[in-house]
Amino acid sequence: KIPIKDENEGSPWNGTGAIVFNGDFVDRGENSVGVILTLLLLKIAYPNNVYLNRGNHEDAILSTVYGFTDEIQARYGKGECDSTDDIWDAMGDLFSVLPLCVRTDTAAIMHGGIPSDGFQLSELESITTEQRSRIRSMLDPGDDAICELVQNVLWSDPRTEHGIHPNEDRGAGIFFGPDVTHRFLTDHGLKYLIRSHEVVDEGFHCMKCSEENSAITVFSSVNYPNGEGCNYGAVINICSDGTLAPVRFRGYEVGSIRSHNEYFNRTMSYLVEMISQNKSKLLSAFEKKAETKTLITTKEWADILSSQLDLHEVDWLSLQPYLAPIVTEGLEGENVEMIDFMKFLSLHCNLLSNAIDECDGETMETLRQNHVLLLTVFKFLDTNGNGLIDRDEFRAGMKLLKKRFPNEHRFDDPDALFDSIDFDGSGDIDINELEKAFQTTQMPYAEAIFRLFDKDRNGIIDR
């Protein structure tokens, strides 16, 4: 059983949380050896915070069918120092002793699911390491009751039909219904059964069993199988208050990133989404730190993003010019650069948060990419960096852009255009008004701005 700390602290890398990898470390792509070795290194480095559950593919027979042994042979079977047999024996030993279930205060986490009606976790706890170690494969349990139990834990699937039924689709394990799941969770005082084992298009799927509990499928292998599919991947965050926070993601092949510009845009899109998803948490942290109205220093801004988003490897200070404008008005004589965190959050959160529940995956991906482009337009026009575009800034920007527009797209009256975008009549244009204008008019400003600054036409605007 592992503890789950407060969501603001829950990182396995600093000892305040834990991470569970829920099986099928092999046979999920062509880099199975690298995946399993990476996970083992993490387990060695963080023995009390990293947990590796056994999946049905951690099986000495099954993984010979789906490519893992072929990969070992290809990597280590060349020349006179053929060590594939020793490596394979060691992997089989490893598979057999991996844990079968992890429990938190609110969830039971196992690869497949409930093996029988009336199942108790104590049945797994009673299996000794020695007994587990002899189950190198569970494909043919025969009369071995322990092997059959292990097979059903790793091979079973939830279905909306009540009761227990043979899992004829797989030829192993069972189908268990919401009634069976509800009884299991209620008996153990839990809210969630979290399992994996089958691909789901959105990366995760919830089967509601009652008002109090659910069975959650989470599948983290993107575009399964072997990059040929189109499914999302996902992870599930378990918070200390008992709530779940699923996070979806997509994968990109390294070879498909054609330029630094494309890589940068994808990275920025991801960071913008993370900021949007964590608006409340960021706002709370900013307010605790702020001493003057809504202003914080750039270092405080970077430290809060790093800690609250758990993205310590990101160099936030170097990305600050792209994400958060510096406040200049009213700070004459100050030596410290300041950021208005309310304008920063408004800049990134309002556009995405309104649409995130309504858009499908493809539409959200387009929205994220266009958001980065829109920010570039906004910051080009917002020359004083205060988070608003006034009439003079707009006129100056239009004067520059006019040289780049074809004749049919030139605007002779920038004031009239300004008034048409200033929807609330405040005399300033904020990011939401500009976004609305982009949605409702045919304005080629974005392309023109990029061409204006991209002097060498390489698709990148450098410093």
∠ CA 229-232-238 to the nearest 5 degrees? Answer: 145
The catalytically annotated residue of 57, 182, 205, 348 is 57
Please list the alpha-helical segments (H only) found in 188-293: 260-277, 279-289
Q: How many CB atoms lie within 10 A of CB 96?
A: 21
Cα–Cα distance, 184 to 177 (Å, whole number): 11
Question: Measuring CA to CA, which residue among 385, 368, 382, 356 is closest to residue 434?
Answer: 382
d(CA 266, CA 1): 37
Contact indicator for 151, 173 with CB cutoff of 8 Å: yes
How many Cβ atoms sit within 10 Å of the Cβ of residue 66?
Answer: 16
What is the CB-side half-sphere exposure of residue 134 using CA atoms within 13 A?
10
Output the six-digit token pair for 262: 């494309």
Q: How far apart are CA 79 and CA 81, in angstroms?
A: 6
57 annotated active-site: yes
Return the structure tokens found at 92: 């089989």
Structural tokens at position 186: 């209620």
Inter-CA distances, 118 with 26, 114, 121, Å: 31, 9, 10
C-alpha to C-alpha distance for 163 and 325, rounded to whole angstroms: 58
Q: What is residue 351's DSSP assignment?
A: H
* Distances, alpha carbon 57 to alpha carbons 21, 128, 461, in Å: 13, 21, 47
Angle separating helix axes 391-402 and 361-381, nearest 10 degrees: 100
Pick from 47, 45, 26, 23: which is nearest to 35 by CA? Answer: 26
DSSP states of 125-164 as a string?
Answer: HTS-HHHHHT-S--S--TT-HHHHHHHHHHH-EE-SSSSE
| C-alpha to C-alpha distance for 463 and 457, rounded to whole angstroms | 14
* Residues with active-site annotation: 57
